[in-house]
Chains A and B, each alone.
Chain A
């Protein structure tokens, strides 16, 4: 069972944990300016899960594009209230 923890899925988990801790530390500071960085980290984490754990990296183009379009749409929509 432990052999499974020596592969890329485990290294992905380590990255996701690190990114989560980094965004939590930034967010706890409570500064408005870091909100967009926190959003960016969350979207990067989403993409990593979609590509790696959900195996979309090996999926047909329509699925890869749909997922990336969703991420891009979220980046634009959720950051737009901060533009002004």
Chain B
């Protein structure tokens, strides 16, 4: 091994810790498997049903929700940056705003589900809506877990004299995963024929 290679390896850094990445990579694989099953069904004999059902979805609301999650990811990434600069007051504010975006996402998702249920569209309506409710429901569960992580980060920033950067990275890693998994759900469920 050359000195340059050794220096590079030394400067490499696992954001958060290895354990959270094993968990996150596992989640990513599980979601991918489900996405694959859905993509196959979308292009199979079910295609006309899926295409007709998709017209009942509110793409604009889903777009707004995507922008909200994107913004929350930016805010959480900035909170990690502020923590590294020992700017803890600003880091706390970023975490609070990021979590606020998460709550807003949930409220809009709740409204979207309520609108569907009011129209008599449920999990049992057809195969498309079964996947719509299950996929978005599982994602909502992950948003809720992400909000618990963000609450822990806020507690860390407010109660510790020296908040741990590694803990901030762990929470941020999970939150960003929730964000980018939504990108694929948005594309698959709402946009792709």
Q: Which residues of A come within 8 Å of B, CB atoms? A: 1, 4-5, 7, 9-10, 12-13, 16-17, 20-21, 23-24, 26-28, 30-32, 35, 38-39, 41-43, 45-46, 49-50, 52-56, 58-61, 63, 66-67, 70, 73-74, 77-78, 80-82
Partner of B90, one of A1, A38, A43: A1
Are A49 and B39 in contact, CB atoms less than 8 angstroms apart?
Answer: no
Q: Which one of B12, B42, B176 contacts A54 once the chains associate, using CB atoms below 8 Å?
A: B176
Q: Is the interface of B mostly helix, strand, loop or mixed?
A: helix
Chain B residues in 8 Å Cβ range of A26 = 191
Q: Is B184 an interface residue (CB 8 A)?
A: yes
Interface residues of A, dominant DSSP:
helix
Contact B188 A27 (CB under 8 A): no
What is the interface size of chain B, counting residues whose CB is below 8 A from a CB of the partner? Answer: 50
Residue of B nearest to A59 (CB): B14
B residues in contact with A55, CB < 8 Å? 13, 15, 169
**Chain B 66-81 interface mask (CB, 8 Å, partner A; 1/0):** 1100110110111001
Any A CB within 8 A of the CB of B82: yes
B residues neighboring A (CB under 8 Å): 9, 11-15, 21, 25, 28-29, 32, 35-36, 39-40, 42-44, 59, 63, 66-67, 70-71, 73-74, 76-78, 81-82, 90, 93-94, 169, 172-173, 176-177, 179-180, 183-184, 186-188, 190-193
List of A residues within 8 angstroms of B40 by Cβ: 81
**Interface contact B180-A45, CB-CB below 8 Å:** yes
Q: Is there an interface contact between A23 and B187, defined as CB atoms closer than 8 Å?
A: yes
